[in-house]
């Protein structure tokens, strides 16, 4: 799932280096293709000028060796065996004053070589660029960060890499009595350091020429997967490890290849999934690497567990990123029930959102199930559009949300931005204090359902602009019945700023405001508790929009007059399944932008 901050995927535009390829063709015992797959390096790997050690995961078809063409880039893992492996390269400080390059080559026995170029900035250039970025971020945080007073107490270290610099600022602010508690939950990054989850969306870098559009995504289109294992009679994992696909973007390569919600994946790159390969395999399938293809084997349920189906290969592609994934109606004793799976608040698709709800209205929908279970947020104005589509004319002009800034900004005369249902006028509270227009909010009234009650399906991945729907509608006395799990608890948002430096564009989005509803409520940093608690992963997992889905079925029963109780679910085949720890799924945040 792509959002405004992420833009398009980062593309490697330079050609690969293929050393020794000419000699391979004359040796009948050497395959012409490299024996390396699922490699976690780009053809050009750019590193900063300081001393650093980098690790790159890959899969080897046989025994392998690795070498470097430069003495300053030392290969620490010089050889290994077939299977999942790790290439470690240590680079010295670059005090030469110019950028330098080394070619790193992995040679698998019986195959051609696989190489990439390691480019290292000069220490002088890297330090200058980092200081520029560090000062830019720190100056903005001193004035706009929601907890800017704590930032002003810090002594910044402008020698740090810009990401390490931001990490340190967030940690040092938190050390002041956890004042920025609402800036995100603590998690552990790949280096084992504790950081705010919001760190992952605070600063993003893109090549200026390859950023892509805000209407497309690049990848395989598997939007969400979890790790799973079956449990034996004693409640212990059986050792059989697999992925479960929970969301697939319509029109993506995965969708076109027939990958569906509820599918199992038991092999990646031809080998079984193991605890040591989980994170790398997850990153590959979720398009977190630059790999052009991903090969996996689907799991087939059998009497004793999961069999192995025929392998499938996905090819990376650009596809339409429309977040309106499914709009349909159910027949129920209470009449037509509308259902909307909405996966991100992307203002580039607000017209499609309005049209989808308009179709539900035309089909006679009198109730709405709003599926936000994996919606991590997005643009505030898109949330106002959705709120208007639910509420209709009866709530026109009522305040849906307003923003509050830090004390210094408010004291300087900045007013809260006010977003009202059905009104194209946004009372924008930015530095100029001028009102702005966003026409889709008013346009949405013609397609609105005018409901007094809405059924929201949520999980811990329901965050930010999704939670704004819950809080905003409750603020105007629309009953929101939440089914599923406790939501994420993101009650704050960001006003992104952009800076160009060299060949790069940097998006910086620290938390700058609280979101408050018409009743003045904003304290949901621990998330919204469900009215009917259901762990959908403990039961059978059905395709998207299937009325047998536990959360959808619960909403339909509630609409039919049966108040659903919280319950533990079971699988029809009697197996007990557990979802295992997995890498954090990035959330989109709550994004407020100045409007024209």
Please choose, from the candidates 470, 448, 476, the residue with its C-alpha nearest in 3D space to the C-alpha of residue 458.
470
Helix axes 123-144, 162-174, angle to 10 degrees: 40
Neighbours of 594 (CB within 10 A): 13
Paired with 576 in beta bridges are 231
> What is the secondary structure of 335-384 as a DSSP string?
EEEEEEEE--B-GGGHHHHHHHHHHHHHTT--EEEEE-TT--EEEHHHHH
- CA triple 468-470-472, angle to 5 deg: 60
Question: Which of the 8 DSSP states describes residue 35?
Answer: S
SS (H, E, C) 490-525: CCEEECCEEEEECCEEEEECCEEEEEECCCCCCCCC
Distance between CA atoms of residues 262 and 543, nearest Å: 6
- Please check the confidence at residue 29 and state whether its pLDDT lies above 50: no
Q: Which residues contact 129 (CB under 8 A, 6 or more apart)?
A: 121, 501, 502
Distance between CA atoms of residues 373 and 463, nearest Å: 9
- Please check the confidence at residue 583 and state whether its pLDDT lies above 60: no
Distance between CA atoms of residues 100 and 118, nearest Å: 8
Distance between CA atoms of residues 170 and 176, nearest Å: 10
Kindly indicate the confidence band of residue 435, based on its pLDDT and cuts at 50, 70 and 90. Answer: confident
**pLDDT of 382:** 96
Instruction: Kindly report which listed range (108-122, 290-304, 389-403, 420-434) carries the lowest average pLDDT score.
Output: 420-434
pLDDT tens readout for residues 142-200:
999 999 999 999 999 998 888 889 989 998 999 999 999 898 766 555 445 555 656 55
Most confident of 215-224, 413-422, 443-452: 443-452
Paired with 515 in beta bridges are 403
**pLDDT of 211:** 44
Radius of gyration of the chain (CA): 26
Most confident of 147-151, 178-182, 270-274, 428-432: 147-151
Structure tokens given for 439:
């026409």
- Please check the confidence at residue 379 and state whether its pLDDT lies above 90: yes
Neighbours of 464 (CB within 10 A): 29
Q: How many CA atoms lie within 13 A of 581 on its CB side?
A: 4
The helix/strand/coil state of 224 is strand
- Please check the confidence at residue 19 and state whether its pLDDT lies above 50: no
Structure tokens given for 167:
């990490």
In terms of pLDDT, which residue wins out, 371 or 584? 371
- Please check the confidence at residue 584 and state whether its pLDDT lies above 80: no
**pLDDT of 210:** 47
Instruction: Kindly report which listed range (26-40, 148-162, 404-418, 552-566) carries the lowest average pLDDT score.
Output: 26-40
Separation in Å, CA 312 to CA 54, 262, 293: 31, 16, 10
**pLDDT of 564:** 81
**pLDDT of 167:** 87
Contact 513, 403 (CB under 8 A): yes
In terms of pLDDT, which residue wins out, 280 or 189? 280
Mean pLDDT of the chain: 85
**pLDDT of 8:** 28
Q: How many CA atoms lie within 13 A of 138 on its CB side?
A: 25
**pLDDT of 571:** 75
User: Phi and psi dihedrals of 161, rounded to 5?
Assistant: -55, 145
Model confidence, pTM: 0.79
Kindly indicate the confidence band of residue 429, based on its pLDDT and cuts at 50, 70 and 90. Answer: low
Distance between CA atoms of residues 295 and 263, nearest Å: 15
Instruction: Kindly report which listed range (76-90, 98-112, 163-177, 572-586) carries the lowest average pLDDT score.
Output: 572-586
The helix/strand/coil state of 283 is helix
Please choose, from the candidates 464, 441, 570, 470, the residue with its C-alpha nearest in 3D space to the C-alpha of residue 530.
470
Contact 484, 551 (CB under 8 A): yes
**pLDDT of 21:** 30
For strands 44-47 and 111-120, give the pairing.
Answer: parallel
Structure tokens given for 398:
């009522």
Structure tokens given for 85:
């492996």
Mean pLDDT value across residues 281-300:
89
**pLDDT of 4:** 25
- Please check the confidence at residue 30 and state whether its pLDDT lies above 80: no
**pLDDT of 422:** 98
Neighbours of 301 (CB within 10 A): 11
Contact 475, 385 (CB under 8 A): no
Structure tokens given for 280:
């790398």
Neighbours of 91 (CB within 10 A): 22
Instruction: Kindly report which listed range (63-67, 151-155, 199-203, 503-507) carries the lowest average pLDDT score.
Output: 199-203
pLDDT tens readout for residues 216-263:
888 999 999 988 888 777 777 777 889 999 999 999 999 999 999 999
Kindly indicate the confidence band of residue 17, based on its pLDDT and cuts at 50, 70 and 90. Answer: very low
Kindly indicate the confidence band of residue 9, based on its pLDDT and cuts at 50, 70 and 90. Answer: very low
Structure tokens given for 131:
């200081």
């Amino acid at each position: 799932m792509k959002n405004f901050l992420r833009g398009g995927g980062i593309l490697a535009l330079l050609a690969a280096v293929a050393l020794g390829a000419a000699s391979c063709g004359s040796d009948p015992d050497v395959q012409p293709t490299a024996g390396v797959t699922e490699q976690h390096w780009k053809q050009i790997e750019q590193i900063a000028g300081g001393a650093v050690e980098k690790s790159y995961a890959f899969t080897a078809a046989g025994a392998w060796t690795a070498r470097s063409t430069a003495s300053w880039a030392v290969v620490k893992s010089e050889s290994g065996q077939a299977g999942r492996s790790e290439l470690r390269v240590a680079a010295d400080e670059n005090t030469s004053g110019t950028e330098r390059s080394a070619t790193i080559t992995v040679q698998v026995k019986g195959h051609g070589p696989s190489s990439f170029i390691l480019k290292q900035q000069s220490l002088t250039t890297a330090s200058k660029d980092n200081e520029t970025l560090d000062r830019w971020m720190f100056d903005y945080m001193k004035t706009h960060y929601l907890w800017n007073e704590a930032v002003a107490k810090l002594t910044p270290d402008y020698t740090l890499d810009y990401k390490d610099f931001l990490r340190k600022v967030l940690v040092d602010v938190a050390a002041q009595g956890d004042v920025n508690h609402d800036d995100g939950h603590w998690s552990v990054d790949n280096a084992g350091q504790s950081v705010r989850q919001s760190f992952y969306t605070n600063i993003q870098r893109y090549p200026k020429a390859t950023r892509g559009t805000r209407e497309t995504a690049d990848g395989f289109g598997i939007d969400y997967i979890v790790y799973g294992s079956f449990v034996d009679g004693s409640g212990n994992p059986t050792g059989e490890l697999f992925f479960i696909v929970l969301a697939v973007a319509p029109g993506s390569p995965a969708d076109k290849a027939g990958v569906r919600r509820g599918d199992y994946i038991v092999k990646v790159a031809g080998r079984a999934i193991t605890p040591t390969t989980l994170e790398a395999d997850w990153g590959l399938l979720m398009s977190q690497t630059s790999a052009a293809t991903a090969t996996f084997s689907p799991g087939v349920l059998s009497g004793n567990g999961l069999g192995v189906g025929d392998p499938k290969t996905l090819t990376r592609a650009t596809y339409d990123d429309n977040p309106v994934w499914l709009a349909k109606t159910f027949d129920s004793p209470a009449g037509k029930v509308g259902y909307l799976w909405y996966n991100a608040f992307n203002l580039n698709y607000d017209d499609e959102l309005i049209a989808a709800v308009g179709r539900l209205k035309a089909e006679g929908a009198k109730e709405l199930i709003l599926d936000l279970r994996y919606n991590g947020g997005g643009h505030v104005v898109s949330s106002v559009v959705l709120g208007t589509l639910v509420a209709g004319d009866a709530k026109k002009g009522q305040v849906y949300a307003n923003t509050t800034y830090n004390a210094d900004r408010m004291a300087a005369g900045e007013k809260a931005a006010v977003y009202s249902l059905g009104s194209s006028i946004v009372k924008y509270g930015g530095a100029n204090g001028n009102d702005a227009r966003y026409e889709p909010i008013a346009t949405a009234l013609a397609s609105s359902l005018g409901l007094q009650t809405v059924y929201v399906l949520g999980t811990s991945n329901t965050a930010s602009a999704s939670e704004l729907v819950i809080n905003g509608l409750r603020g105007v006395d629309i009953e929101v019945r939440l089914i599923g799990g406790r939501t994420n608890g993101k009650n704050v948002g960001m006003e992104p700023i952009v800076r160009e430096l060299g060949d790069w564009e940097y998006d910086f989005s620290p938390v700058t405001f609280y979101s408050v509803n018409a009743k003045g409520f904003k304290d949901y940093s621990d998330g919204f508790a469900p009215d009917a608690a259901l762990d959908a992963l403990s039961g059978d997992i059905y395709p998207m929009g299937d009325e047998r889905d536990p959360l959808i079925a619960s909403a339909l029963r509630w609409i039919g007059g049966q108040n659903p109780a919280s319950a533990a679910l079971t699988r029809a085949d009697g197996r007990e399944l557990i979802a295992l720890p997995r890498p954090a799924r990035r959330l989109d945040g709550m994004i407020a932008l100045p409007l024209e």
